Amino acid sequence: MTSFNKNFIQVGVIGRPKGTKGLLRFHSFLNDDRDVNQFKEFYLDDEKIIELKLVSFDKKSPLITINEINNRTDIEKFVNEKIFLKKEQLSPVKGNEYYFHDLEGLDVMDNKDQKVGEVSSVVNFGAGDLLEIYFTKSMKKEFFRFTEQNFPLVNIKEKKIIIKN
């Protein structure tokens, strides 16, 4: 894993242009699309710094400008670019809240503190967060709702999570 992957988190993908004035659709992974304007600097895959500004919404997605470019020809080179923030730019979490990237890769332990697997991904399809766990013994992946009942202990510092049997 490169230092870029460890220090940055993807927060969106640039979509297609809209109109001729340099607007682009933005597929945001942020909790609230309006949070785009809280950050000054965003990064591309090559660590090039860019400035995004949320200017409006249409039926499909938020509309942004990049580096105040105001014509379609110059903006088209950004289509399908992944957009990143430095992890340290993110607000600290409160209480029982976690960033998905903090949960991914955690060792999954049973109630006897034996490793049974690893969190391979975290997803949310609209009905709550799900942890995808790769179980070492069965060599299979399964989804579990991320609740206190299913996971009574999460320890980010020790990189482990306890799953209820």
Write down the pLDDT at residue 146: 93
pLDDT band of residue 7 (cuts 50, 70, 90) is confident
Q: Which CATH number fits domain 3-88: 3.30.70.3270, 1.10.3720.10, 2.40.30.60, 2.40.10.10?
A: 2.40.30.60
Contact 162, 149 (CB under 8 A): no
Express each pLDDT in 32-46 by its tens digit. Answer: 888 899 998 999 998
Per DSSP, 5 falls in state: H
- Tell me if the domain spanning 100-162 has CATH number 2.30.30.240: yes
- CB within 8 A of 59, min separation 6: which ones? none
- The arithmetic mean of pLDDT across residues 50-55, rounded, is 94
Euclidean distance between CA atoms 106 and 118, whole angstroms: 6
- The arithmetic mean of pLDDT across residues 141-146, rounded, is 95
Cα dihedral 25, 43, 4, 104 sign = negative
Going from N- to C-terminal start, the domains of the chain cover 3-88, 100-162
